[in-house]
Amino acid sequence: MTHSAAARKVFPGPSNISRIAVLGSSPVDRAINMFRLTLLPTQYPMRYFTSRDKAMTWLRESSGVGDIR
């Protein structure tokens, strides 16, 4: 995966990302997120949430493989 020059300034080196929670509030947000997941798969699990509490709980769980939803 490549990153823009601006992104490299913010995140210059390797990260400790183990999963990504995407937070949204509408069916349109969910549809855009699902479309994005199919186009740009990541090397770590990614899930869409409408609840910040549920997203934070999931982020704190141990990483699982194949957990993209």
Residue 44 confidence (pLDDT): 80
Radius of gyration of the chain (CA): 13
* Residue at 8 is within a domain: no
Residue 63 confidence (pLDDT): 53
Q: pTM of the prediction?
A: 0.61
The structural domain count of the chain equals: 1
* Residue at 43 is within a domain: yes
* Residue at 67 is within a domain: no
Distances 17 to 10, 31, 42, 62, 67 between C-alpha atoms, Å: 14, 24, 11, 12, 14
For the stretch 16-61, pLDDT in tens is 778 888 889 999 988 888 887 777 667 788 888 999 999 999 999 8
Q: Which amino acid is at 50?
A: T
Whether 68 contacts 45, CB under 8 Å: yes
* 25: CATH: 3.40.970.30
* Residue at 27 is within a domain: yes
* Residue at 2 is within a domain: no
**Side-chain half-sphere exposure of 65, counting CA atoms within 13 A:** 0
* Residue at 10 is within a domain: no
| Structural domain containing residue 21 | 16-60
